[in-house]
């Protein structure tokens, strides 16, 4: 869709993709999702709730349907004008580059957007990779954690692992006591699952008076080093590495009585706060200067490249936000009401806030293949992607206001968020850290939806 010059082929792809599980054949999901929504509703009512969303949200940070809807509405108001301007910009660019219609169809948009992005930012993975060797990136991450929390890392090759690629470190607190064992499993191999994640081999808990410390694992799938090149990461992979380590810190700093309530065992819409918070540091010039060094020359990544990374990160973010919000509304329409008598088409028309951005297209469906909310665990929870962004941007703003690498703010974050796990309501934890409830401004500024106040 982004690269195919053949417009008919793009259109064909668009329809093929957007009619998955919605074609007139035995794989059509329409009845199945209607049944799912109805059964969930009935289960919630049996348990004494008004809707499925009321049942799910009771144990989330965003406690009620009203909170979620207000949250989506508020972001929508900020994103709409930006999204409209973005469409105008891409349309004007397309017209200058051979597009002959008035309005870009859905199958034209990402094609021209990709060309425009290339022209504006001229930045790609291959230019950046030499500055991000895995070794330097991990050194930089450990140094950042030492600067923030005073913790130190000691490689221990005596500890057995499940594969020779796996690295093991002991993590020590600033007073010298052992906090955790941390394993990094970073390279693909036959039989290993794709993707990136954090998990524990052992959680933290109190066994009588003994504080049992956790064993924490970070898994990624980066390209292996070769004979003449170290393992080099794309910028996105560096963010992933920091992200997973943010989850690891939640486990490493855990301090509670019961493993069920420590570390990352927290509300669904709260668990990405530490991980996404850590991602912010990667775009920070002063942090990059400590580790983003060319693997051959040792040259620190030029400021010009850093600027381009940061500028390109907000490209078309109004539209990206609107798309996420549309998914959020769709989810809440299916799960926040009695779905009796609902049709797939009706629900989609009601909730698609991006509908008038493009010429209308009939015969497609998102719901039929929306596995997050129908087959995954995201029912009445899709909003949490944006919710977590608000949390991490707002929390990070506190670091930023205090010079980024600030020990006092870091300690505060450790005391009120990282060490607490799920022992208190996440809103209480956040308020104890931030002094108030979360505000969306920092996220809006970061994604270019709001000019710096």
Catalytically active residues, by annotation: 244
Please, are residues 111 and 9 in contact by the beta-carbon 8 Å criterion? no
Q: Which residues bind Zn ion (CB under 5 A)?
A: 275
Q: Under DSSP, is residue 218 helix (H, G, I), strand (E, B) or coil?
A: strand
In angstroms, what is the minimal distance from the CB of 338 to Zn ion?
A: 33
Please, are residues 204 and 212 in contact by the beta-carbon 8 Å criterion? yes
Residue burial 174-210, b: 16+ Cβ < 10 Å; e: rest = eeeeebbbbbbbbbeeeeeeeebebebeebbbeeeee
User: Which CB sits closer to Zn ion, 244 or 348?
Assistant: 244
User: Which CB sits closer to Zn ion, 267 or 344?
Assistant: 267
Tell me the β-bridge partners of 207.
210
User: Which CB sits closer to Zn ion, 130 or 274?
Assistant: 274
In angstroms, what is the minimal distance from the CB of 406 to Zn ion?
A: 24
Cα-Cα-Cα-Cα dihedral sign, residues 87, 88, 93, 96:
positive
User: Which CB sits closer to Zn ion, 259 or 275?
Assistant: 275
In angstroms, what is the minimal distance from the CB of 240 to Zn ion?
A: 9
The span from the CA of 224 to the CA of 165, in Å, is 10
Q: What is the dihedral angle through the alpha carbons of 335, 48, 55, 76, rounded to the nearest 10 degrees?
A: 50
Alpha carbon of 264 to those of 22, 24, 267: distances in Å? Answer: 37, 43, 9
In angstroms, what is the minimal distance from the CB of 426 to Zn ion?
A: 15
Alpha carbon of 441 to those of 82, 435, 449: distances in Å? Answer: 15, 16, 9
Tell me the β-bridge partners of 185.
219
Residue at shortest CB range from Zn ion = 275
In angstroms, what is the minimal distance from the CB of 4 to Zn ion?
A: 32
User: Which CB sits closer to Zn ion, 275 or 333?
Assistant: 275
């Amino acid at each position: 869709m982004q690269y195919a010059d053949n417009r008919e082929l793009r259109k064909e792809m668009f329809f093929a993709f957007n009619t998955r599980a919605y074609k007139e054949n035995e794989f059509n999901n329409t009845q199945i999702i209607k049944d799912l929504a109805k059964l969930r509703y009935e289960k919630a009512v049996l348990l004494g709730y008004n809707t499925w969303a009321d049942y799910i949200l009771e144990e989330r940070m965003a406690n009620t349907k009203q909170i979620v809807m207000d949250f989506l509405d508020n972001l929508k108001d900020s994103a709409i004008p930006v999204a409209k301007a973005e469409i105008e910009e891409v349309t004007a660019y397309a017209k200058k580059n051979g597009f002959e219609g008035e309005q870009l169809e859905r199958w034209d948009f990402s094609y021209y957007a990709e060309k425009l992005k290339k022209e504006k930012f001229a930045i790609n993975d291959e230019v950046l990779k030499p500055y991000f060797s895995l070794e330097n990136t991990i050194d930089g991450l450990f140094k950042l954690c030492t600067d923030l929390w005073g913790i130190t890392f000691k490689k221990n090759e005596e500890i057995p692992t499940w594969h020779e690629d796996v690295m093991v470190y002991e993590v020590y607190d600033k007073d010298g006591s052992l906090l955790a064992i941390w394993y990094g499993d970073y390279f693909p191999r036959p039989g290993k699952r794709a993707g990136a994640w954090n998990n524990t081999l052992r959680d933290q808990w109190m066994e009588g008076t003994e504080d049992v410390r956790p064993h924490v694992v970070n898994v990624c799938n980066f390209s292996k080093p070769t004979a003449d090149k170290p393992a080099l990461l794309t910028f996105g992979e560096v963010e992933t590495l920091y992200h997973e380590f943010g989850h690891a810190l939640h486990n490493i700093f855990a301090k509670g009585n019961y493993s069920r309530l420590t570390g990352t065992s927290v509300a669904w819409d709260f668990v990405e706060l530490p991980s996404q918070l850590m991602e912010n540091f990667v775009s920070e010039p002063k942090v990059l200067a400590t580790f983003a060094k060319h693997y051959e020359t040792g040259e620190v990544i030029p400021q010009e490249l850093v600027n381009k990374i940061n500028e390109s990160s907000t490209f078309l973010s109004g539209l990206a936000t609107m798309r996420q919000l549309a998914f959020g509304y769709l989810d809440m329409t299916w799960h926040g009401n009695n779905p009796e008598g609902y049709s797939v088409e009706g629900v989609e028309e009601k909730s698609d806030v991006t509908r008038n951005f493009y010429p209308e297209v009939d015969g497609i469906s998102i719901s039929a293949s929306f596995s997050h909310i129908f087959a995954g665990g995201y029912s009445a929870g899709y909003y949490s992607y944006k919710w977590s962004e608000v949390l991490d941007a707002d929390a990070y703003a506190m670091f930023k206001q205090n010079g980024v690498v600030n020990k006092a703010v870091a300690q505060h974050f450790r005391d009120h968020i990282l060490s607490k796990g799920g022992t208190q309501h996440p809103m209480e934890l956040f308020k104890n850290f931030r002094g108030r409830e979360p505000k969306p401004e920092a996220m809006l500024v970061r994604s270019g939806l709001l000019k710096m106040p």
